[in-house]
Chains A and B, each alone.
Chain A
Amino acid sequence: MPEPTSPLRRQPVWLALGLLLIALALSVHQGNSLLAHVSWSTAIGPASPEDLPALLVRYSFLPRLVISLLVGAALALAGVIFQQVLRNPIAEPTTLGVASGAYLALSACAIYAPGLLDGGQEGVALAGAALGMLAVLGLAWSRRLSPVALILSGLIINLYCGTLSTLLVLANHEVLSNLFIWQSGSLNQNSWQDVYHLAPRLGVAALLAALLARPLQLLGLNDAAAGSLGLSPNRLRLMALAVAVALSASAIASVGVIGFVGLAAPALARLAGARTLRQRLLWAPLFGALLLLLADQVVQALAPLLGGEIPTGILTAFLGAPLLLVLLSRLHETRLNPPAARATAQVARLKRTSWILLAVLAIALFLALTWGRGPDGWYFSSGAEFDALLPWRAPRVAAAFGAGILLALAGTLMQRMTGNPMASPEMLGVSSGAALGGIFALLLVPGFSPLLLLLAATFGALLALLAIVALSWRSAFAPDRMLLTGVALSTLLNAFAALFMVSGDSRVLLMLSWMTGSTYRIDASQAVIICALAALFLLVTPLCNRWLAIMPLGAERTRALGISLGGSRLLLLLLTAVMTAAATLVVGPLSFVGLIAPHMARLLGAQRPVAQLLLSALLGGTLLVLADWLGRNLVFPWQIPAGMFATFIGGPYFMWLLARKR
């Protein structure tokens, strides 16, 4: 690899200097406002404990400044290593399941082994981070860790860990207020403890990275070259990943989850002309340090205007989501070619299967309406008791049924359209858009009105749809790109959910219950609307039969048959978005029903579009009715939201699908 010429080399210096100047100007301004009448030399030199402004500068302002530099550098360094080893420009702690694994581990520990957190916080975070990362690697292994497979695996692990953490929060909310702060990433300091803790770790990691730089650079070329160094390429990768995971875990254990610095800093370094790994290892941490310093100073400068500080991690996530979209659009090799489900049954058997499934649905509906759990165990209700309970049960059962059908139809459309059996409405980001709309309504308007929530969520879903259309217009709605916008939107959703939780708002639990897909607040009129929509789309979607039959054959053949690719995709996309928005309002932003149902329909032999649509609708409806019924009764008198219950079944199914060998 040719060494870059000197003008290229100088570029990062100028960018770094520019960033440094802005950050310094803000810092000095901030420091001055703290010091008031005291001089900087008194603050830094020996100060008496009585001199409060000097103490504040010395033990709050300065350690915070230094910790932002250290954390920024650590995350950027980890980002460069992840990206080099995985050959993936969007690998970083928050996209690889490292951060969400650590968060889940800390939540579980706070509830089941609180003693462990006193001093053992870093170890717990590290164990969770390593497990999260291993799960992501394991899922993407059979696709040889291709960039898109890796990012989708990261998304799934993030969603799954997030659901588990939410369940813990719902059952133990009073214990976890501290974790809300931790999740949103606040850099506030009141001593040098964290700096003393993190600095040597960063030093060791930097040293190891320097030692690994040359072998890793060779590894970027090919395995044989790296083998000539006498190191097994896989052992080398493992070592490098271990360094990066440990460094990320230390950084996030001390201040919390700070997203996207590990993404932005290496990208900035590359943009500024740092070409070789060695250059990136040097410049990215520098940029990371400066970026986080800048972000943190901005947060502090904004505090008086906003009537309080927003956590720094929220700002970086907010700024990071658009960046992620830009980087995603440049991903090479976005083709994801998972195994298509093989038809294992003949058409004759398909008919019989359908009858069996209809019978299962009938039984599920019957059970859901009549069989329930009370203080004395399970009981069957009929007659007057049935009549009294029906107004409570029927809307929930009907809404779950309708939402299941809508999600299954939406999923089938997506999978047909993309020729990709792993596509689903959750991945499109429409569900996240709907949930974001709901959270905004809660943040901006006091009180809790179901109607307002409904309107806001629909609006959010439509905005998400518009974003998707705008972003995928150029690629004529190329399936894989669209899938990945879901990653960026779900990241934004998490950031705002964290902001809401840390705000101390008393409606946090209501929001969480809504986001986890509880059918509790569904009334009869809502249930009727959902079922009417389900019936409508059951009639409409089969009309797209021809498109759906041809599209999986590929773009060229579709065009050759005289179908306008952009137009047909846009229409199908609109249908998908409306169905997803309606279903999200009932069962929350994730349930995986839109993924499982169409896939199972194919496995059961539904090859033709109409057969797949109808069979998956049947499956989706049944799945959610069962999830709702079990969720209502299993932990009586408590309840597990239907969407969350479905996630527990759907998540592993999806992981199995992703990890399965060809």
Chain B
Amino acid sequence: MPITRRRALTGLALLPVALCGLPVVRAGDPTLPKVDIVSFEPALTESLLGLGVAPRAVVNAGYYREFVASPELPDDVLDLGPSIEPNLEYLQRLAPELIIGTSWQLEGTLLSRIAPLRSFDIYSANAQPYRNAGQVVLELGALVNRRAEAQALLEQTDRLLEQLRVRLAPVSQRPVYIARLNPDGRHLLLFGAKGMYQAVLERLGLRNAYQGRTNAWGGSPAVGIETLLEQPDASLLYYTNPREALAAQRRLDNSPIWRALPMIHEGRALGLPRFYPSGGLLTAQRLALSITEQLLAMESNRA
């Protein structure tokens, strides 16, 4: 994503909003106070770090560092191995005070032999991940004695999204697609109902252009790029996995359909940084900031 003058200006315009919204957590800070909790779920790890405490151990630390990334995970947090099969013998030796995770990770297991369990579901049947994420932050805050911080984080986020909604009012008529491109240049994945992308779009007063089938965290099955023609007037925000970006772009640049997509040739498509699609409240904040920045940049580019 090249830095144009317009984009830099938009970024500057958003800076105060960004500063009041984001918690101040230093990178990989090993002095962050530890709580004797093991987290099985990246979204919960993210929320704990956002409250200014670090869990003692997490599942698949490398995955968190690559896909959630912020707030940064301190280097001395222990790694329990794969998220579908956390190392139980290791966990037994750690004997933490509490294990937290989603209900499908904890229910029907024998983990309660090791420590008390507590499940938090951001992506649950009620399909309200944003509200659930806020609730989870409050509950975690009560758990680690950071009630005030949790309340502040929640209010900050609500306030931030409300401010962004006001800024976005001029462009709110246009529906938005959010997509992850596949490097084959033929398929993409769209984000829709039940996911955080959709929840954030709604909070920002925007309409998701994709109304089709989605899985538990809001991802669609792989569809052809011509699907974007179902809502030709929509804007498109998209990302690729970094190592696949070149191949995808090259294939698409040669595709008459891609070039003919109204959002492409009318300049209504811009890149997004990659976000963890099943993240928590902090992911929602950064997501909202990026979406706003890009949609406003798009508007000023077209003006």
A positions within 8 Å CB-CB of B: 49, 52, 55-56, 58-60, 114-115, 117-119, 170, 174-175, 177-178, 180-182, 186, 188-191, 193, 307-309, 372, 374-375, 385, 388-389, 391-393, 447-450, 502-506, 509-510, 513, 518, 520, 523, 632, 636-639
Select the stretch in B5-13, B129-137, B161-169, B181-189 that faces chain A. Answer: B181-189
- Decide: A52 and B222 in contact? CB cutoff 8 A: no
- Contact residue among B63, B83, B87, B184 (Cβ-Cβ distance under 8 Å from A178): B184
Contacts of B212 in A (CB 8 A): 308
- Decide: B84 and A510 in contact? CB cutoff 8 A: yes
- Contact residue among B183, B185, B189 (Cβ-Cβ distance under 8 Å from A190): B185
> Does B302 belong to the interface (CB within 8 Å)?
no
Q: Can you list 22 A-B contacts (CB < 8 A)?
A: A49-B260, A114-B244, A118-B247, A174-B63, A174-B241, A182-B184, A188-B186, A188-B187, A190-B224, A190-B225, A190-B226, A190-B256, A191-B256, A389-B93, A392-B89, A393-B89, A450-B108, A504-B189, A505-B215, A513-B84, A518-B85, A639-B82
How far apart are the CA atoms of A55 and B66 in the complex, in Å? 39
How far apart are the CA atoms of A60 and B262 in the complex, in Å? 16
- Decide: B80 and A637 in contact? CB cutoff 8 A: yes
Known interface pairs A186-B187, A393-B89; A504-B215 also in contact (CB < 8 Å): yes
Contacts of A308 in B (CB 8 A): 212-213, 221, 223
Chain B residues 222 to 244 lying within 8 A of chain A, measured CB to CB, are: 222-226, 229, 232, 241, 243-244
Contacts of A510 in B (CB 8 A): 84
Contacts of A186 in B (CB 8 A): 186-187, 222
- Decide: A59 and B257 in contact? CB cutoff 8 A: yes
How far apart are the CA atoms of A593 and B157 in the complex, in Å? 56
Known interface pairs A190-B225, A190-B226; A114-B243 also in contact (CB < 8 Å): yes
Contacts of B80 in A (CB 8 A): 637
- Decide: A374 and B241 in contact? CB cutoff 8 A: no
Contacts of B185 in A (CB 8 A): 190
- Decide: A637 and B81 in contact? CB cutoff 8 A: yes
Contacts of A385 in B (CB 8 A): 93
Other than A56-B226, A191-B258, A307-B213, give 18 A-B pairs with Cβ distance below 8 A: A52-B229, A52-B260, A56-B229, A60-B224, A114-B243, A175-B241, A188-B186, A190-B224, A191-B257, A193-B251, A374-B90, A392-B88, A447-B104, A504-B215, A509-B84, A513-B84, A632-B89, A637-B81
A419 → chain B, closest Cβ, in Å?
41
Considering only CB atoms, which chain A residue lies closest to B224 in the complex? A188
Contacts of A447 in B (CB 8 A): 104
- Decide: B110 and A60 in contact? CB cutoff 8 A: no
> Does B4 belong to the interface (CB within 8 Å)?
no
How far apart are the CA atoms of A164 and B232 in the complex, in Å? 42
Known interface pairs A181-B187, A636-B87; A389-B221 also in contact (CB < 8 Å): no
- Contact residue among A59, A114, A393, A506 (Cβ-Cβ distance under 8 Å from B256): A59
Contacts of B108 in A (CB 8 A): 449-450
- Decide: A504 and B187 in contact? CB cutoff 8 A: no
Contacts of B113 in A (CB 8 A): 391
- Decide: A639 and B85 in contact? CB cutoff 8 A: yes
Contacts of B215 in A (CB 8 A): 503-506
> Does B246 belong to the interface (CB within 8 Å)?
yes
A354 → chain B, closest Cβ, in Å?
32
- Decide: B186 and A189 in contact? CB cutoff 8 A: yes
> Does B31 belong to the interface (CB within 8 Å)?
no
Contacts of B250 in A (CB 8 A): 118-119
Contacts of B85 in A (CB 8 A): 513, 518, 520, 639
Contacts of B247 in A (CB 8 A): 117-119
Contacts of B93 in A (CB 8 A): 374, 385, 389
> Does B216 belong to the interface (CB within 8 Å)?
yes
